[in-house]
């Protein structure tokens, strides 16, 4: 089975009763983790610990008002009482009073009997599935008004992906203040006057009309010397592709950490059935500046489409350690072209972190100097209806071989390609094809940064690109941006450029 599939399935998992409210007595010790087969292994509502900070960090933004009110009682140490106290007025200081106050229901508060699932359910809450639970929902044991038993607590997040343990905010028993607690779904229900285990007697419930903003989910699958890959989906907009932020050697706010964004929009067959939507895969070329023989860590964060919580994706962090990349053409057939200033570097839309390889002095020195890189790319298309796109470079026109190459060079943005009269384009002789993808490098002892290229004087007759009606390829026989020219030296060198394309993704750097 594909490792991504394996990891994926690891993931896939206003009547008020006055007086007494049915809440339990003492809370027992936590039981051991026993999985409930009704609990799907989804990635929502996971928390690092049963602490306020961790619960708030992982809560949907829409649940923060619920938490604010619930933690008011925790902060003041509101003692349990089946009565209205000075601290909690006008709400009862019991389990259902806390949840009623957190949800903004009318005082003095519901009872477990009038929440969803209870014998006097008044419709202000609804029963949901265990796999739908998210922070700010509640767990209700409706109980029996004839026996005076029942309990309810505000759900504070799962502690594990298998959903065997969770946090809660609750008022539980006489002599105990409002507090954060940990429970296991395998706990015996007898301690609340029920039967069976916790997951048999408690019902997941949600405030009627409330739609939580669920956090994105996903997985960082792989980090190799070529590629960083995984998937992410926002559960609130399941068919929409979202951004993923990749952080290297640290996380958000860490000094020295580097980051950029990719779009999780790639089709993956393994996701279609598993999460109900296919286009959520992401790939990014591993930053060349980090291919330096040293270990580096990468973390991935799914970015919420509504501006909510952006969780770290499962599988993070991953570590890679890679030697400097081999140049895609050897020194016998290649040239190095100096990128003469930061302004030129920026004009070509290169990125110091993602694009610049760190080669040895010996490798850099082995390549002969060619002409400086142009101050800015001049990218044109003739107005004769032919599809070819060309770069005008030092007096020749060089064919950009296909749309993937256009994207790799950042030529696919609006306004980059200029349509010009055919005569103006074809007055330049056709040279060797433009490299399929940029290879930019520097070395320890040389302050210059270079673009690797091949000699690009006009190709011999019959082997070059289309002119204004002459040459063996005249007539526009190719489609799209298919390869038309040949490299000087040997045709294998042009093939090497194509095969070496790493598909650098044209996304702008973006901090989380």
- Peptide bond just before 248 cis, omega within 30 deg: no
Helix (H) or strand (E) holding 247: strand 242-248
How much is the pLDDT for 192? Answer: 67
Q: State the pTM of this model.
A: 0.61
Q: What is the pLDDT of residues 91-103, one digit of tens each?
A: 999 999 999 999 9
Quick check: 511 pLDDT over 50? no
Q: What is the pLDDT of residues 400-450, one digit of tens each?
A: 999 999 999 999 999 999 999 999 999 999 999 999 999 999 999 999 999
Based on its alpha-carbon atoms, the radius of gyration of the chain, rounded to whole angstroms, reads 31
For residue 312, what is the DSSP state? Answer: B
Given the structure tokens 């489609």, which residue do they identify?
A: 479
- Helical segments of 128-189, H only: none
Please state, in angstroms and rounded to a whole number, the distance separating the CA atoms of residues 193 and 201.
10
For residue 124, what is the DSSP state? Answer: S
Pinpoint the residues of the chain covered by CATH 2.60.40: 217-321
Among the ranges 30-44, 110-124, 298-312, 445-459, which has the highest mean pLDDT value?
A: 110-124
In what side-by-side order are the strands of the sheet with 242-248? 258-264, 242-248, 295-302, 318-321
Pinpoint the residues of the chain covered by CATH 3.90.1720.10: 3-207
Provide the CB-side half-sphere exposure for 325 (13 A, CA).
27
How much is the pLDDT for 460? Answer: 52
How much is the pLDDT for 146? Answer: 84
Residue 201 is encoded by which pair of tokens?
């007697």
Quick check: 89 pLDDT over 50? yes
Please state, in angstroms and rounded to a whole number, the distance separating the CA atoms of residues 145 and 16.
13
Residue 4 phi/psi, 5-degree rounding, is -65, -35
Q: What is the pLDDT of residues 8-41, one digit of tens each?
A: 323 332 222 233 344 533 332 222 222 222 222 2
How much is the pLDDT for 149? Answer: 84
Residue 22 phi/psi, 5-degree rounding, is -75, 105
How much is the pLDDT for 57? Answer: 84
How much is the pLDDT for 38? Answer: 21
280 by Cβ neighbours in 10 Å (0-12 / 13-18 / 19+) ranks as buried
Given the structure tokens 């203040």, which residue do they identify?
A: 177
Cβ 435 vs Cβ 327: under 8 Å? no
| pLDDT confidence tier of residue 190, bands split at 50, 70 and 90 | low
Q: How many helices (H) and strands (E) does the chain have?
A: 12, 24
Residue 257 is encoded by which pair of tokens?
């950490």
Signed CA dihedral, 83, 85, 91, 95: sign only: negative
Low-confidence winner among 45-49, 271-275, 430-434 (lowest mean pLDDT)? 45-49
Closest CA to 390 of 422, 347, 350: 422
Q: Report the first-to-last Cα separation within the chain, whole angstroms.
A: 33
How much is the pLDDT for 247? Answer: 97
Please state, in angstroms and rounded to a whole number, the distance separating the CA atoms of residues 339 and 439.
12
How much is the pLDDT for 464? Answer: 39
From residue 469, alpha-carbon distances to 23, 53, 107, 423 in Å are: 89, 71, 86, 10
CATH architecture of the domain covering 217-321: Sandwich (2.60)
Q: What is the pLDDT of residues 124-162, one digit of tens each?
A: 999 999 988 999 999 999 988 888 789 999 999 999 988
Residue 389 is encoded by which pair of tokens?
């796109």
Mean pLDDT value across the chain: 82
SS3 at position 292: coil
HEC profile for 30-70?
Answer: CCCCCCCCCCCCCCCCECCCCCHHHHHHHCCHHHHHHHHHH
Contacts of 174 (CB under 8 A, 6+ apart): 25, 80, 81
Cβ 234 vs Cβ 243: under 8 Å? no
Cβ 216 vs Cβ 310: under 8 Å? yes
Task: Pick one of 3.40.50.300, 3.30.450.20, 3.40.50.850, 3.90.1720.10 as the CATH number of 3-207.
Answer: 3.90.1720.10
Closest CA to 79 of 180, 176, 179: 176
């Amino acid at each position: 089975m594909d490792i991504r599939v394996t990891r994926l399935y690891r993931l896939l998992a206003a009547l008020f009763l006055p007086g007494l409210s049915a809440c339990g007595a003492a809370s027992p010790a936590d039981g051991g983790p026993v999985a409930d087969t009704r609990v799907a292994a989804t990635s929502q509502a996971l928390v690092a610990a049963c602490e306020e900070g961790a619960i708030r960090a992982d809560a949907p933004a829409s649940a923060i008002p619920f938490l604010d009110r619930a933690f008011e009682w925790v902060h003041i140490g509101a003692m349990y009482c089946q009565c209205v106290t000075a601290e909690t007025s006008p709400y009862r200081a019991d389990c259902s009073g806390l949840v009623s106050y957190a949800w903004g229901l009318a005082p003095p508060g519901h009872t477990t009997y009038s929440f969803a699932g209870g014998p006097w359910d008044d419709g202000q809450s609804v029963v949901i599935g265990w796999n739908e639970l998210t922070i700010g929902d509640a767990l209700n044991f409706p109980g029996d008004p004839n026996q005076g038993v029942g309990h309810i607590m505000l759900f504070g997040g799962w502690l594990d992906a298998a959903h065997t343990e969770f946090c809660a905010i609750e008022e539980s028993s006489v002599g105990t203040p409002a507090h954060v607690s940990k429970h296991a779904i395998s706990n015996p229900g007898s301690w609340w006057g029920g039967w069976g285990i916790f997951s048999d007697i408690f019902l997941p419930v949600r405030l009627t009309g409330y739609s939580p903003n669920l956090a994105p989910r996903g997985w960082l699958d792989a980090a190799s010397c070529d590629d960083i890959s995984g998937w992410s989906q926002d559960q609130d907009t399941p068919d929409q592709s979202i951004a993923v932020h990749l952080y290297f050697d640290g996380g958000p706010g860490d000094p020295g950490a580097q980051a950029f964004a990719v779009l999780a929009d790639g089709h993956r067959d393994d996701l279609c059935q598993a999460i109900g939507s296919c286009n959520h895969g992401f790939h990014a070329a591993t930053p060349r500046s980090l291919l330096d023989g040293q270990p580096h860590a990468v973390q991935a964060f799914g970015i919420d489409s509504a501006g909510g919580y952006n969780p770290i994706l499962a599988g993070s962090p991953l570590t890679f350690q890679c030697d400097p990349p081999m140049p895609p053409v050897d020194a016998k057939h290649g040239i190095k072209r100096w990128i003469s200033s930061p302004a030129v570097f920026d004009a070509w839309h290169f990125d110091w972190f993602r694009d610049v390889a760190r080669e040895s002095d010996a490798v850099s020195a082995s390549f002969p100097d060619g002409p400086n890189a142009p101050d800015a790319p001049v990218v044109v298309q003739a107005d004769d209806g032919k599809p070819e796109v060309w770069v005008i470079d030092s007096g020749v026109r060089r064919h950009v071989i296909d749309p993937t190459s256009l994207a790799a060079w950042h030529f696919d943005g609006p306004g980059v390609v200029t349509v010009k009269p055919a005569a103006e384009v074809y007055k330049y002789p056709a040279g060797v094809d433009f490299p399929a993808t940029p290879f930019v490098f520097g070395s320890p002892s040389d302050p210059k940064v270079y673009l690797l290229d091949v000699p690009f004087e006009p190709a011999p007759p019959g082997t070059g690109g289309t002119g204004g009606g002459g040459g063996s390829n005249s007539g526009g026989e190719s489609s799209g941006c298919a390869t038309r020219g040949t490299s000087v030296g040997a045709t294998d060198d042009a093939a090497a450029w194509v095969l070496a394309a790493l598909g650098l993704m044209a996304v702008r750097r973006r901090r989380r």
